Amino acid sequence: MFIAQELRKKNIAEYLLYMWQVEDTIRAFGCSLPRIRREYIDRFDYSDEQKEEEADWFGNLIRMMNEEGCREQGHLQINRVTLQMLIELHAQLLESPKFPFYNTAYYKVLPFIVELRGRGADKQENEIETCFNALYGVMMLRLRKAEISPDTQHAVKEISTFIGMLSDYYKKDKEEGLKFE
C-alpha cells in the first residue's frame, strides 16, 4: 500500500506494473490474508499500525479479486481502469499535432509491438497493453534471474522509454492539464 501510494503519485506506469505484481503476489499466497500477513507483510520493517494498514489493503484487494473473478488470472478493475486511462491518453497524444516527440517515440517502438504480437501476444490487445505485458514479462524474468536475450533487452529498453514518456504526459495532464489542440 505504501509503495503503491508513492508510485501512483510519481509514475503511473511503475504503479501499474507494481499493482500487477501485487496481484501475482496475492495469488502466490493462495489469496490467503493470514499467509500474506505472516509470510510477506511481517518481513517488512513496519510499525504494528503500518502492518495493520497493509493487511487491510491486501484484504481489500483479495476481496476485490474474489468478487471480480480474477483469483487465478487477469487484473483487478482498478488496474484495468488505470490501463484504460493510459490507452486513452496515448490515443489523444497520437492524434494531436502538439506532441511530435511522442509520435516519434511511438513509431520507434511500433516494430517491437508488431513483433510481440506476431509471437503470440493477443492480437486484440491494445498496443499500450502489449507494451506493459512485455515490460512485466521481462521484470518477472529478471526476478527469476532468467537470461534475457540482447534483442529482448533492446526492445524492452525502447518500450520502457516510450512508456516512461507516456507516464510523464499522464502526470503532466493530471497536474496541469495537457492542451491537445
Quote the DSSP letter at residue 73: S
From first to last of its 181 residues, what are the pLDDT tens digits of the chain? Answer: 878 888 889 999 999 999 999 999 999 999 999 999 999 999 999 999 999 999 999 999 999 999 999 999 999 999 999 999 999 999 999 999 999 999 999 999 999 998 888 876 556 789 999 999 999 999 999 999 999 999 989 999 999 999 999 999 999 999 999 988 7
Using alpha carbons only, give the angle 132, 137, 140 rounded to the nearest 5 degrees: 125
Kindly report the pTM of this predicted structure: 0.92
Tell the residue number behind the cell numbers 500487477, with chain if given.
20
Containing 158, the helix (H) or strand (E) segment is helix 150-175
- The closest alpha carbon to 93, from 159, 168, 160, 156, belongs to 168
